[in-house]
Chains A and B, each alone.
Chain A
């Protein structure tokens, strides 16, 4: 037996002439998620994407679709002939098991008629099908309620097919990944950066990640953690890469040669520079960071300004105005929180100043940067960079 999954996308629907491009992206992304299932047909007639699959696979496929950006909602149902009797038979079959002895059930039928050539108004169809169902089940306690029914049977009549279903499962919304191009996220292993990357993914970007690693001082814990975070984010996007940049030499140089209070901002300026260089090589048009204004010493207005100045391209900071609680809520909802909170320190105490500057002054930073060969160290770090393609979790 086959099931039909009906996928709705509301935001793409608003697009104008390039709408076909977005829909094709979405359809491609959906297809790419169907690995492991047999014979899933995906097509996209006007306004909807339909999947035909084995009925046994439908629930699992629906779960995967809930993680595909660009989908507003979806429904698992069946394709039927546009015939009132057949529709009523299927509706009766769905409702009957819900009618328990002695306890009533209220229901309604709601029709959407995309194919306006279909005879009758939507309400006529509601009445025709609803009436037939009611006739057979009234004695078992079925009643009609247009207000708040226990069960809503929906019928969608399109030019090519008619689909019946009874539930709407919310999707992620947003736009299909890849429709906006590629970006590069600075991933630390903390709570914020994966949430920031996810938000930009939802707006249609494929977001690659860069991690600044300091294994000789910190061990492999951080590395393993970002690999897992990337695998998790791989549930929502395809083909993203993880760049791991060895950072210990740069940190040691800054530590040894620059003003202690400026260290953290200087580390971050180097991270931005390196990230931008990777972004250029891999055609990423923006950097994505998890910074949130005022959250820590390095994220004051002055310090954010001081790091932004070293790069020419766009820096997206989707969390800039969010509270920590809200960020945590989002981290939980994408499944990153449990990975992010695994205990692993993000900076070795050797490199931390006793009193980090909250308002670093740019001329001072620039002076600090004449004291160590940052350009050469950056080239070296990029040469030693490792590129991974973590498999989705």
Chain B
């Protein structure tokens, strides 16, 4: 089995499973209880928080809130900060948990301001900062690494430009596709009001994520209850999941440099292989939706998205599946909708290019042999299917 859909989710690291198994046996007490057993559980959470802050090189004045995952973190910050009438803006290229959370404010007469015109290849144009000021936007929401294309926003540069040109605009970053692979520095956080991440994207468990935000902010709670986590997010804390998240972050941080080099090599092999296929097959119309040669500051090496009309991505996916090779079709949340990807359409691809695309995404478990096997099976499936589509186009 070759798993190349790591942007959808990753397999859990054995070290994480061990840490969680131990925690599930030992840390069963409610971390809100005042007896020793509860205090021990609370201690585990505090240790995990400290470990998380270390791995992310988070400066002191940040709050860490545990949530059920990236979607909840994004909803909590966006609705918690902007409901009902603070102006928001986005590129329209973010994950649905950001775009639809923002669009839910439409109901209160507060639609998000679209900056779709102000981007190149999915990257935010710094020029747009003055537009944000003109429109009195209070929160700009961006994805750190785009979930379909892997294109990276230059967060420190955007934060600096906002400070300079639109100081009233805060910056919220969906970091779900970045965490576990990104090399955070203390300087990264300057000007970031909020940041979300999700453990299952970096070999941790599903069902746990983080919302990190500047501690002077007060997002309104979306889940009320026993006032855990400063009342911002009530609910008994799942200690084993928290332990798993912290462990996964620790493991990925310690292997960080090595894995980043490996991801670059994997991406190189795939991009070169596809280009070679294009040279050898005049029918094969290859378009990269990711930036195939860009540095890690512009493009995550973990995601390669490309189009190959007229063959549909979904059909290739099922052909690859027969050979136990699993790849993605853009965001899993929209994979069933059958609509062409909003993100690929947004960066200027045609409907056909958007439907005829695949997303290959790596993690540290992948090898060059995986890429070679993918290339071979992809070529075979494409060659078999091309005539089917070609004839379809010939007599409609």
Interface assignment of B285: CB less than 8 Å from any CB of chain A: no
> A211-245: which residues lie under 8 A (CB-CB) from chain B?
215-220
Interface assignment of A32: CB less than 8 Å from any CB of chain B: no
Chain A residue nearest to B381 in the complex (CB): A216
Inter-chain contact A345/B389, CB cutoff 8 Å: no
In the assembled complex, the CB of B380 is this many whole angstroms from the nearest CB of chain A, namely 12
Instruction: Chain A residues near B391: list those with CB within 8 A.
Output: 255-256
Question: Mask for A350-366, Cβ within 8 A of B = 1, else 0?
Answer: 10001000000000000
Inter-chain contact A252/B388, CB cutoff 8 Å: yes
In the assembled complex, the CB of B384 is this many whole angstroms from the nearest CB of chain A, namely 9
Interface assignment of A343: CB less than 8 Å from any CB of chain B: yes
In the assembled complex, the CB of B199 is this many whole angstroms from the nearest CB of chain A, namely 27
Inter-chain contact B395/A255, CB cutoff 8 Å: no
Contacts A252-B388, A256-B388, A354-B396 given; indicate if A349 touches B318 (C-beta within 8 A).
no
Chain A residue nearest to B355 in the complex (CB): A349
Q: Out of A219, A260, A343, A354, which one reaches B318, CB within 8 Å?
A: A219
Interface assignment of A348: CB less than 8 Å from any CB of chain B: yes
Interface assignment of B33: CB less than 8 Å from any CB of chain A: no
Inter-chain contact B388/A216, CB cutoff 8 Å: no
Question: Mask for B374-392, Cβ within 8 A of A = 1, else 0?
Answer: 0000000000000011011
Inter-chain contact B318/A216, CB cutoff 8 Å: yes
Instruction: Chain B residues near A260: list those with CB within 8 A.
Output: 395-396
Q: Count of chain B residues with Cβ under 8 Å from any Cβ of A? A: 17
Interface assignment of B25: CB less than 8 Å from any CB of chain A: no
Chain B residue nearest to A354 in the complex (CB): B396
In the assembled complex, the CB of A277 is this many whole angstroms from the nearest CB of chain B, namely 26
Instruction: Chain A residues near B392: list those with CB within 8 A.
Output: 255, 350
Instruction: Chain B residues near A219: list those with CB within 8 A.
Output: 314, 317-318, 321
Q: Out of B312, B321, B338, which one reaches A350, CB within 8 Å?
A: B312
Interface assignment of B315: CB less than 8 Å from any CB of chain A: yes
Considering the chains assembled together, what is the distance between the CA atoms of A350 and B392 in angstroms? Answer: 7
Inter-chain contact A218/B318, CB cutoff 8 Å: yes
Interface assignment of B260: CB less than 8 Å from any CB of chain A: no
Contacts A260-B396, A343-B336, A345-B338 given; indicate if A350 touches B389 (C-beta within 8 A).
yes
CB within 8 Å of A: which residues of B?
A: 312, 314-315, 317-319, 321-322, 336-338, 388-389, 391-392, 395-396
Extra pairs beyond A217-B315, A343-B337 (4, CB < 8 Å):
A215-B322, A216-B315, A219-B314, A345-B338
25 intermolecular pairs with C-beta atoms under 8 Å apart:
A215-B318, A216-B315, A216-B319, A219-B314, A219-B317, A219-B318, A220-B321, A252-B388, A255-B391, A255-B392, A256-B388, A256-B391, A260-B395, A260-B396, A343-B337, A344-B336, A345-B338, A348-B312, A348-B314, A348-B315, A350-B312, A350-B315, A350-B389, A350-B392, A354-B396
